[in-house]
Structure 1
Amino acid sequence: MNSGALGAGLVILTRFPILAATIHPYSLNGSPIDVVAGDWFVGKAAASIVFAHPILGQVEVYNTHFFAKGGDEGPEHQRAHRLVNAWEFAKLVRQSAEVGRYIIASGDFNRSPSTLPMDIIRDHAGLTDAWAVTHLDTPEPNLHNPPSPQDAIHLYGVTADSPLNSYSAGKPLEHRARKFQGKRLDYVLYRQPSSIHATARIPILRAVDTRVVMTELVPGYHFSYSDHFGVEATFDIEAPGGGHATEPTSVDIPTSNHPKPALSQTDISTDSITEALVSLTARYRFAESQARKHLMTFVLCVLALIAIISTSPWFPSYVNPALTLATVAVAWCATTMLYVGFVYGNWEVNPLTNIIEELELYRAALEAGQLGRLRPQ
């Protein structure tokens, strides 16, 4: 599925009949002036398909890739775009579950398990981490005695910045990454349909095994398949009374035509919302400051062009080629600063404003207990 100018690089394959497919580009994906990172040009997004399963009914599978820059320990304003991604993704998943679909969500979320974006995804979307479910008794590693790179992969699900990956071997690691010999940034998450669609005979989707895959080098070459390893998850479909659900007649298949929205019994905490608002507000101020700097640079470039053009008759003729090149360079810089400062400046500030207002309203509703009173007991 394609998004942005270059495409988000998301694909979903299934052997079941596909009923629908869509892609949702995130409203914020870095800056167009950050050409090296390239997130804005590829248009990071959430792609999804809905397929018909003989026992589960409609299943929606998501594949996503979040904004990358900033890391786990980056400055506050660097976290904001990934928080926007997390909030928008969580809303998409929640809406899908509310119409009676099972959800499987995978991708590169570019955040470690205990970080705020993953809290938002787990709490607001109601998603369960398949790796956490299937690795319950894994001991916490010690920075002074870290696991081997192989154990880090098998025990902690490390998929990025592993010393065993040719693209990250020798890369300086952050404090937490050193503790785990890399990072777990890639996930397979899942959830049941919203409880309003549940009956006593609805089948249960449960993760029974997960492992990191594609850790070897490409055969015949000295490099890895990708800078991230893959994650494989195996699911079981259980009957409500226990055992495998093998026949559609033994269970109730959830329908997807219920008009009433369902509310989860658990939700994102007000503390998490407040923490997200701090980051988003910091990014809002940073974005406004950057826009002003870019527009000021545009004004200076215009003044420089006026100076070059007005003084060029007094320069010797052999200087003309250099003046021409300088004029082109300054004009290019002025144009770039104008569209980055004005067009992208507003492009970034407006979604930030919308999401800050959304979260403030949601926090106020949680604090007032309005959402709690609507939840089923």
Structure 2
Amino acid sequence: MGSEAHRPPASIRVLSLNCWGLKFISKQRNERLTEIGVQIAAASPTPEIVGLQECWTQQDYNAIREKTQHILPYGKFYHSGIFGGGLAILSRWPIVESNMVRYPLNGRPAAFYRGDWFVGKGVACARIQMGPSQRDIAEVFCTHLHAPYESEPHDSYLCHRTAQAWEITKLMRGAAERGHLVIGLGDFNMIPLSLAHRIIETHSPVRDVWRILHPESSVGAARDKVEELRGVPMPTAQFNMTINGATCDSELNSWRWNQAHRKRLDKGENVQIDPAVPDPNAKRLDYIFFSSGRYHDPETKEETAEWELKEANVGMAMRHPTLYCSLSDHFSVEATLTRSTTAPSAVQLSAAALPERYLPIGIYDEILATTLKYQIRERVQRKLRIGHFFYQLSLSVGCLIGVWWSPHNYVSFILMLLSTLGLSLGVIDGLMGFLFVGSEIRALKEFEWEVRSARERALVRGGKRGSEGSQMLFGSEG
């Protein structure tokens, strides 16, 4: 397929899926991920760029690659962190350059039961050459942001997810300034119009494909307060998939069923759910963002967007053919981009700086307040962890001294055991206090500087009416 691979495409089919491939944790992982590969290969329209999240092992990646190699001959499995980043990109066209960009802020090692820090989350970057010219380059950014464990604004990891959204925004903006087609996809663990979502759409030129087609779609689960305030009726599962773009916690997903349905499924029964069932928990966490490369004609001085959005849908909702379970705890989000016009030969790549848009000033103040609150929390944690280290060190020395006067061997053993265990815990806490928290605070300072810089530019642009002007730039949805 050599000549075909270098023929400029008239359209691109993009697919993003969180595979739920946690080793030792995700149920029926091998069977499900193999079937994911089968269904990607059988999909119509045929996907040409695929971003996968939570594909943690090389074995699962290879299983998907084996099933899709004939339609997606190029692929990259990204390595990151202690247990891997879980990210992969598959492509119909050659991946000429790739990079894994780790997020500076990504959870805490003390929260080992959550695992975000250990997996080394970041952005999988791939530059894809779809044709022979500079016009035919797509820069793809696949990510999985930090999971929310509480609802906003009480989420203790809101600061992390906000900083991560800021980081991927910079990468996508840079690609757009190079004049390339930009595709950002993945499980962003955010709801539409949340703080992270607004940062992405404001500080880079990318747009959320679903909101282009469905601007009135939901901004959260039906049971959430934000949806109750909108006063919309309870959506059905079918409505959530087709109009609201819900990819997670759907009543149609077997991994979200109640205990009675799960028991029937475990017995081998192919349980069917009515698409008209009320769906109060489903929400949209998976996204495809895109920004078209722009080209200008030196004679007319006009600029034209190279790519347009044709359609978007939620997919991969089928069940495993023998296990009858959903293929993942998420559905996929898919989109088709089409080339708007055939540019004349005089058209040249436009790499001019993009006009910068800004959030309302109050939003920057909100981000800075969140950052400051988190810094204060971490400084307190640092003192406590370092204090715990010195306490355990003192206790360990005391136990060793006590051994000298121990009347019995079993007492000496207990004292030595307490000394060893206590000092081990103290050293772990000390390392986190001395090393990790210091590193995290320095990363927070970098993020804080960038937010303050953007805020100052917004004030300069808007003058005394900076907040009002920024609101107008953002639009009515802000």
Q: Same fold (TM over 0.5)?
A: yes
Q: Give 1:1-377 correspondences, 5 Å limit.
A: 1-54=78-131, 56-75=135-154, 77-136=156-215, 138=217, 143=228, 145-170=233-258, 181-193=281-293, 200=302, 202-239=304-341, 245=342, 249=344, 252=347, 254=349, 258=351, 262-315=353-406, 316-369=408-461
SS at match of 1:47: strand
Q: Distance in 1 between matches of 2:395 and 2:462?
A: 58
Q: 1:10 deviation in Å?
A: 0.9
SS at match of 2:432: helix
Q: 1:340 deviation in Å?
A: 0.9
Q: Distance in 2 between matches of 1:9 and 1:32?
A: 18
SS at match of 2:111: coil
The 10-residue stretch of structure 1 (344-353 or 45-54) with the greater mean CA deviation from structure 2: 45-54
1:210 counterpart letter in structure 2: A
Q: Distance in 2 between matches of 1:358 and 1:33?
A: 27
Aligned-pair identity in percent equals: 28
Q: 1:238 deviation in Å?
A: 0.7
Structure 1: runs of 5 or more not aligned: 172-177, 240-244, 373-377
Report the CA distance shift for 1:169/1:322 in structure 2 as closer, same or farther (over 3 A): farther
1:117-167 residue CA offsets vs partner (Å, 9 max, x unmatched):
110000001211111112246588665841122321222111122233333
| Cα RMSD (Å) | 2.9
Q: 1:18 deviation in Å?
A: 2.1
Report the CA distance shift for 1:159/1:253 in structure 2 as closer, same or farther (over 3 A): farther
Do the aligned residues in 2 keep the contact of 1:201 with 1:251 (CA within 8 Å)? no
Report the CA distance shift for 1:60/1:194 in structure 2 as closer, same or farther (over 3 A): same
Q: 1:43 deviation in Å?
A: 0.8
Do the aligned residues in 1 keep the contact of 2:80 with 2:102 (CA within 8 Å)? yes
Report the CA distance shift for 1:358/1:196 in structure 2 as closer, same or farther (over 3 A): farther
Structure 2: runs of 5 or more not aligned: 1-77, 260-277, 467-478
SS at match of 1:126: coil
SS at match of 2:91: coil
Q: 1:233 deviation in Å?
A: 0.9
Do the aligned residues in 1 keep the contact of 2:248 with 2:285 (CA within 8 Å)? yes
SS at match of 2:330: coil
Report the CA distance shift for 1:68/1:250 in structure 2 as closer, same or farther (over 3 A): same
Q: Distance in 1 between matches of 2:255 and 2:318?
A: 12
Q: Distance in 2 between matches of 1:287 and 1:195?
A: 47
Q: 1:17 deviation in Å?
A: 2.4
Report the CA distance shift for 1:168/1:332 in structure 2 as closer, same or farther (over 3 A): farther
Do the aligned residues in 2 keep the contact of 1:202 with 1:252 (CA within 8 Å)? no
Q: Distance in 2 between matches of 1:224 and 1:136?
A: 28
Q: Distance in 2 between matches of 1:267 and 1:195?
A: 24
Report the CA distance shift for 1:264/1:196 in structure 2 as closer, same or farther (over 3 A): farther
The 10-residue stretch of structure 1 (214-223 or 24-33) with the greater mean CA deviation from structure 2: 214-223
The 10-residue stretch of structure 1 (161-170 or 73-82) with the greater mean CA deviation from structure 2: 161-170
Could you tell me the TM-score, scaled by structure 1's length? 0.85
Count of matched residue positions in the alignment of Structure 1 and Structure 2? 356
Do the aligned residues in 2 keep the contact of 1:120 with 1:272 (CA within 8 Å)? no
Segments of 4+ in structure 1 off by > 6 A? 139-142, 194-198
Do the aligned residues in 2 keep the contact of 1:28 with 1:84 (CA within 8 Å)? yes
Q: Distance in 1 between matches of 2:388 and 2:286?
A: 39
Do the aligned residues in 2 keep the contact of 1:10 with 1:64 (CA within 8 Å)? yes
1:70-96 residue CA offsets vs partner (Å, 9 max, x unmatched):
344252642100011011111111111
Do the aligned residues in 2 keep the contact of 1:37 with 1:69 (CA within 8 Å)? no
Do the aligned residues in 2 keep the contact of 1:49 with 1:60 (CA within 8 Å)? yes
SS at match of 1:156: coil
Q: Distance in 2 between matches of 1:3 and 1:48?
A: 13
Do the aligned residues in 1 keep the contact of 2:141 with 2:184 (CA within 8 Å)? yes
Report the CA distance shift for 1:331/1:190 in structure 2 as closer, same or farther (over 3 A): same
Q: Distance in 1 between matches of 2:397 and 2:108?
A: 29
The 10-residue stretch of structure 1 (340-349 or 53-62) with the greater mean CA deviation from structure 2: 53-62
Q: Distance in 1 between matches of 2:361 and 2:295?
A: 23
Q: 1:370 deviation in Å?
A: 8.8
Q: 1:2 deviation in Å?
A: 1.2
Q: Distance in 2 between matches of 1:293 and 1:137?
A: 47
